[in-house]
């Protein structure tokens, strides 16, 4: 019998993965990119791919909307936030505010699109002598009506500053936890952007990743009443949730207001956890715009056609920030920041 703590279970298929309010979208990019060609693209033939729309995963990777460099050239957003968690590889960000960033290797970018921004997200393949694997999550978090027209803003969470800890069970087996939002096990997250739904304590937003050793046990603590919690079990052979065994990859909605016991099987298990109190407002989405009414969607299109959300200050639609692998973020005001530590690629 399925325990009362498990509300819904679905097998994980092709992305995007199912989400619940206040989350809108969740995708896992896991691309085994080959060696680079010296021009930031793959040293492999592109013939047979639908260039500009390549989601084929042919040979274990895709070009997405990129033509010579994989990634997502300039595209607009309004009314929500993107949270991009890069586990491996690098992402080059550029936007209509003139901001730029290169981040990855455990970094997170949290972008409030607010009243409107155009940005590009390219995946430069810098290594010509070896493969360039990329793995990332991109999560869309809705904004409440009061913040949908806030000024665009991006925040960098550099890997060395993100709280993480290895928790041991009674047998000494480990669960490695990374806390991007929401307290867990005494770990306090970095501050989210000021207009985010996550900036409200009552929103109870959490974004965690867990890696559970074979045979390890770990308990997720109870959240506030009214919070919803999704677990994405995206790697591993078997995992028991309150004694109920899951086999393979699954998206599981669980009761958030009770603790949940996790018991891993014989292979390492990896989980993404998303939780939050629903915003509970009307929501209308059309492509890259998420607003509260159809009239606001129409206004978003009109504003974008009229202003291009500030225009595109870059020489092409898919900027790449050079061959040097160093990570950085240059904000619209010209302020530049870099991580304190630079792990090897």
pLDDT tens readout for residues 29-42: 999 999 999 999 99
118, pLDDT greater than 90: yes
pLDDT at 342: 65
- For residue 108, give the nearest of 153, 155, 52, 68 by alpha carbon: 155
- Distance set, CA 331 to CA 100, 196, 268, 324, 335 (Å): 7, 18, 38, 19, 5
d(CA 270, CA 243): 18
pLDDT recorded at residue 344: 47
Please spell the DSSP secondary structure of 192-216, one letter per residue. Answer: PPTTSGGGSGGG--EEEEEEE-TT-
pLDDT at 345 (0 to 100): 45
What is the pTM assigned to this prediction?
0.96
pLDDT confidence band for 276 (50 / 70 / 90) = very high
For the stretch 319-333, pLDDT in tens is 999 999 999 999 999
Residues sharing a CB contact under 8 Å with residue 1, sequence separation 6 or more, in sequence order? none
């Amino acid at each position: 019998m399925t325990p009362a703590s498990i509300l819904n279970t679905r097998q994980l298929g092709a992305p995007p993965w199912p989400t619940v309010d206040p989350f809108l979208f969740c995708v896992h990019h896991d691309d085994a990119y080959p060696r680079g060609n010296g021009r930031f693209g793959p040293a492999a033939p592109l013939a047979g791919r639908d260039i500009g729309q390549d989601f084929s995963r042919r040979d274990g990777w895709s070009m997405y909307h990129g033509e010579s460099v994989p990634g997502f050239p300039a595209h607009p957003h309004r009314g929500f936030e993107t949270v991009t968690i890069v586990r491996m590889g690098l992402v080059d960000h550029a936007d209509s505010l003139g901001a730029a960033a290169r981040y990855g290797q455990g970094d997170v970018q949290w972008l409030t699109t607010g009243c409107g921004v155009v940005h590009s997200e390219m995946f430069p393949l810098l290594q010509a002598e070896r493969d360039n694997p990329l793995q990332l999550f991109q999560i869309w978090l809705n904004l409440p009506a009061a913040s949908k027209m806030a000024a665009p803003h991006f925040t960098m969470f550099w890997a060395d500053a993100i709280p993480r800890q290895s928790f041991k069970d009674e047998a000494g087996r480990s669960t490695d936890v990374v806390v991007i939002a929401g307290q867990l096990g005494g770990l306090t997250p970095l501050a989210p952007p000021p207009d985010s739904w996550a900036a409200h304590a009552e929103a109870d937003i959490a974004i965690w990743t867990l890696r559970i050793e074979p045979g390890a046990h770990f308990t997720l603590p109870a959240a506030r009443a009214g919070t919803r919690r999704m677990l994405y079990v995206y790697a591993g052979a078997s995992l028991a949730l309150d004694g109920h065994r899951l086999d393979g990859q699954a998206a599981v909605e669980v009761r958030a207001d009770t603790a949940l016991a996790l018991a891993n099987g014989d292979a390492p298990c990896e989980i993404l956890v998303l939780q939050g109190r629903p915003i509970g407002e009307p929501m209308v989405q059309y492509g890259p715009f998420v607003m509260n009414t159809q009239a606001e969607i129409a206004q978003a299109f009109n504003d974008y056609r009229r202003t291009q959300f500030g225009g595109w200050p870059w020489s092409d639609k898919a900027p790449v920030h050079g061959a040097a692998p160093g990570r950085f973020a240059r904000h619209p005001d010209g302020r530049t920041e870099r991580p304190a530590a630079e792990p090897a690629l």
